[in-house]
Amino acid sequence: LRHKPNPWLTAFNFKRTLQYHACFRGNGYAAIFRNGGGDPVELLLLSPTATVPVQKNGHLYYAPPAGGSERTPSTLDVIPLRGRS
């Protein structure tokens, strides 16, 4: 993941885009996708304007964009990069 977090982005572009989201959109979010053994295999950027932190049953979740077929990742599967506040 250090060199290629997913098939579409290099590590440099991934980090640059995540930082851009944090600086100019308020927050940046990336989802961690794991294999059956629990090892991370892919990092994907989440929409900074559509991803919303939600507390449910005492746990923090990040709601994916409405109408999407994405799963709702738990706090452990999301990298939040907070912007200026």
Q: List, for residues 34-80, the tens digit of each pLDDT value.
A: 999 999 999 999 999 888 888 888 888 887 666 555 566 667 889 99
Q: What is the pLDDT of residue 13?
A: 96
Buried b / exposed e across 6-44, counting CB within 10 Å, b at 16+? Answer: beebeeeebeeebeebbeeeebbbbbbeeeeeeeeeebb
Q: What is the pLDDT of residue 84?
A: 78
State the burial class of residue 48 (Cβ atoms within 10 Å of its Cβ: 0-12, 13-18, 19+): buried
Q: In the chain, which ranges are continuous DSSP H helix?
A: 11-25
pLDDT tens figures, 3-47: 899 999 999 999 999 999 999 999 999 999 899 999 999 999 999
